[in-house]
Structure 1
Amino acid sequence: MFGLVGLSFNLSLLVISDSAKMTCLRDFERFKDALFLFCVLSFTFQGVSCELVVSPVGPSHVNALAGSNVTLSVSFSGAPDPVVTWFKEGLPVGTWTINSTSPPDIDENRKDVLRIEKNGSLTFVNVPLKFTSNYTVELTKSGLEKTFTTFSLHIFEYIQGVTLSIQPDFAKEGIDMFTLQYSMQQGVVEQQIWHFNDTKLTNSSHHLVVERSLVILKPNRGDTGRYAVVLMNPFSRATAHKNVTILYGPDEPIIEVHPAKSFYVAGDSLSLSCQAEGFPQPSAEWGFDGHILSDAHDGVLNLTDVQTSQGGVYTCMLLNELTEEKREKNVTVNIYEKPLGSPSCSVLSVNNLDLQYQCEWTGGTPQAQLSFPALNNTVRGAGKLRLTISASSDLNEKTVTCMADHPIEQSTCNITASSPVEFLPALRTSVDPDGKIAVTIQCVSEASPQAVVSWSKDSEAVASGAIYQISNDTTQMKIRGYNISSFIFHNYTCTCGNPLGSKRRHIQLQGPSISDSSLFPNQDRTIITLTWEVPPTSVVTGFDIQMKGPNLLNKNGNITLNKGSSQVYRTIRQKPGSARSIDIFMLDPKLTYRFRIIPKARFAEGEPSEIHRIGPGEGLSGPAIAGIAAGIPCSILALLLLCGLIYLIIYCKSSKSHQTRYPVARAVEKAKTVQPDITPHNRLTGGLKLSPDYNRLHQAPSERSVSLPTFVPPPPVRVATTV
């Protein structure tokens, strides 16, 4: 019995068994033989159950054909009826307790393929390709440690229908790589072997064998040849071939010019040839000035009786029609000609700090060499020259000469830089479609380079926005607003500057006004022309032409009835803000008219111009005579009231003092000294009678103006009274 135990278990278990035997022998001395046998058997079975062992029956690496049956066989020992669990890549696919009456628990998705045998082995029925994987069997028993073993199952098919393809479609020299890739109708490949011209290929810096492919790195024309791949698995073998041609070129073009000269003169003849290596042989074309020349054949272009217009760069264009790879090479054919015209000079401002002198003399072959010796004798340019230097007072009003050198002719041009000069701002007023008044201020100063204008309002810089809009050339600033007051209460400043200096002008806008006006009648005095001027900084959007007097005649010579009284000014015409004159027709030369101009800034009116009168001479008008007649009685009444008031004051004072006081005699003399000389008046025209002599009624005479037709009311009269 101890020998049987030693065959089934390891050394540790044998030690445990010996210990158990010793215990039983001691008990045997106390008890009978039956009890001894029971103890020995009990401890023997207790030693067997201490470890559970499972192992594969046959190889753990199993190959099988798809559709066949295959079993992963196992055997176990150490405990009866353990729990068997099979895993696929760590996921359980089936479990069963050995000798259990219940059927094995198989994964629903694999029930049609998997079977767990009575000894715990796993059988695959008509196994598909997708069951290729690693499988693990795990045995467990209560009270014992788990035990497991692993199988590798590979499912194969017969290899059939193998073909080779190239990626990309054309193997071209110079690309990063091209790939030979095999495909097959069916089969599972365990090994692939590649050959090139019957030479086996292995991984290297030029060839790389990867899954299902052979990669050729940096292919060249030497990789042209026959490629083959051999595919194998434990059940089949197949071979496929592919002839590969590496396309290349065109290589660097070779251009030849016959005869070879550095330049040609009009009337000469020459030929250009171009060729290059490549597979397939590249085709060649010649181009000039962006056009393909159809006269070229097989890469040869013949030019006869060349003219100056044919000088320039000729381009040879080579094309590989399969790869569509192109290669170009240029050759310059020099045909000398003089530049057109004369060189031109200019000076520009750079960031309003430096001066950039420019000289151009374009055209010609070769281009003229340009320089400014007075500024820098080492800097030269071909066709165009731009030289930037720091601005200084020494350059102001200094004339600088550009030297233009050409093999055929030499020439010069001059440029003078100058700082801005004094200037006058220009003002223009209009009304925008949205009803806003738009005042445009323009500041332009003569300078070289052109002066840049900066704007400020009340010493603060102005930037373009909704109210202020500055033109792209900065010479104009437009101010927009509805109210004239937003314009006239600010001081605006424009500064014209370039790197050599600056000039500044302040602009104080004023409301609508007229500085001067005139009236010019025609010979018949039936047509007049009104002219007027506006102050330079006045904001004016329009003018109302007003007239006072009789109505104008119409085309038939009849009087046109207009609304309004003829004795007040009424608007007869309106002119825009840009107008400075107006013609008024159909005047009656026998009548008198008065005209004036009202400047306006939208709805705001300015002071009217002076009044211009046209018509025959006239005496006192009816209203003037009525005024005089009404004024005389009023003056007498006022004088009487004044005298009564004086008398009342004197009487009251005399009553209080109970004595009579008389004015000093000097008062009479003083009153006499203020009396003006009485000058007889001439009779008024128009048949009016002389007014009464009021001097006989009062001690102080009244005065009237002898100037006609204007009436001047009499001045106040001082009267001395002695009581």
Structure 2
Amino acid sequence: MTCLGCGRSSTYFFTFLLSFTFQAAPAELLVSPVGAAGLNAAAGSSVTLAVSFSGAPDPVVTWFMGRLHVVTWTLNSGAPPDIAENLRKVIRLEPNGSLTFANVTPDYTNNYTVEMTKPGLSRAVTGFTLRVFELIQDVVLSARPAFAQEGADQLTLQYELLRGIVEQQTWFFRGTELKTSSHYLVEQRSLVILRPNRSDTGWYTLVLTNPFSNVTSQINVAVLYGPDEPVLEARPAQPFYVSGDSLSLSCHAEGLPQPTARWDFGGQTLFASHNGVLNLTNVRTGQGGVYTCTLLNKQTAVQRQKNMTLYVYERPSGNPMCSVQSVTNTSLQYLCQWPGGSPQAQLSFPALNTSSGAGSLSWIVTVTPTDNLSGRTFTCIANHPVEQNTCNITARSPVEFLPAVTTTVDSEDKIVVTIHCVSDASPRAVVSWTKGSEAIASGTVHQISSDTTQLQVRDSNVSNFLLQNYTCTCSNPLGIQRRETLLQGPSISDSNVLPNKDGTIVTLTWEIPPTSVVTGFNIEMLGPDLLNNSGSQTTGSSNTYRTIQQKPGTARSTDVFALNPRLTYQFRVMPKAGVTVGEPSVAHRIGPGTGLSGPAVAGIAAGIPCGLLFLFLIGGLIYLYTRHNKNKSRQTRYPVSRAVEKTKSTQSDVAPNHPAAGRLKSPPDYNRLQQTPSERSVALPTFTPPPPVRVATTV
């Protein structure tokens, strides 16, 4: 269906939408310089800061010189511009908002800003920079000092002028422009010649310019010279010398006339050759130090001195050594040593804010909980003229440690239980022992090692060890660690057995609890005897465990050889302490009965797809049976009388098994339903449930 007039309506709608859009768009007030924003003007001339604007008619114009208000005016208004009183003879505001200066002076060099505003619009701003220059006149050049001497700190050439503003100064020497460098320094009104020399003698030219004038001036400079900077050398050149070496020191410099040299050492003047060479033979460490050479120019009466240091020394032996010690178990003493050498090495711990020590340094730190010194590494810096070396030291509080118990039997057949208490600490931890709440001292039963890290307990009866609680305490100034050890009877915490590929060898491994008292192990086996050397069975099977190996208390594994891979064995480990036997480990079964055989695995693999197929067939039969019942229930039924319906319901309960027989139909054999398809010789019977009995009530 075509809409008549829709085109015309759309035209009107878009025309209205565009007109509304343009009416809603806000106007923008813009102002910008006409030409460059930076202007140069000669003093006494006129200059105009010209602007143009757009976006709104007759805006309010305001000019500022820096932050000072100059003039304000609404363009094309009848009121005169509001000009600052002290500027009314100098400036004029043009009708288009531009600002004009008449007979401008250098005082008006400044930054100017124009601001235009209109109600309802944003403020428009732009700026100018005005520089006013006078002509450069009467330039005078001078040198300080008037007579420069070679080797002086500096020679300064400076200028003065009676009138004018300099925008740029340029210095020339022999036609080459001079710029700031290591020899020249160009400053605001001067040229500084650093350390002038004879080559600086000549004519210097200065050119001063600004946008409206250009002036050139010259000055002739003469530099006196001699002597030059002394040159000191040691031959052979080495960073240091060892006692017994021989060497020579030379001192020379250019000058006119040739300067004379003098050597001084330790307050005494040493003999030197006419060319300034000083020979030293078989030097000793006492001859190391500062040597001074003095060069004198007799004509200019100028002398130069220069020092050189001669090192004659011996290096300390070895390397710096750092350590830390405990002081009354409350403070730490950090030590650093590097003895010997000449001079002695200077040692310091920068992180400890220590003062330096020569050859040996000791610093004691009182430990407080807020210091956090444990695990913190401090470096000792050892400075020696031949090399710089370091050593590090880290103090640590005692760390946590696990109980370590070993058991042996001494020559008197007594059980010796050794409890180890070793905690890594620096400085070494102080160890103490207690039994229950009583301190332990060395005696007949208890013996403490010389370093106090081991406690030995001796007794003939293992029961005297059980449930005894021994406590070890390790401490240093940084902390304390305690470990209680409750001794246990002989026991096995874990065990395992691993046969070889052929099944003829097994490896038994076992572990015991850390605090268990164990002096040995019996390796027991249940099953046939082991094979003899010829490979035949020695005797028949045994129905009880028997000991086949005995192992010491330190053993944690053993190998059993000569197994028959076709027979089954059981192994276990029996711990003992002296004559006391503990609980055995779990029994490990090895042999053919320990897993599924190859045919069994193959049967399982083949039975899985068969079982899935059987489940699929059963599911299909159930689906067909359900579908058949639904179709019967959907057949059309007509109303019948109560008597007929009751009769049909009753008759459905009785059905003949055979047309010639009047017997009841036998129920299905549900046992046969559970048989597999291969076990059934005939098809499954079809069982149809009777329809439900409907009961009608006649009112």
Q: Same fold (TM over 0.5)?
A: no
- Range into which the TM-score falls when normalised by the shorter chain: 0.3 to 0.5
Q: Which structure dedicates a bigger proportion of its chain to strand?
A: 2
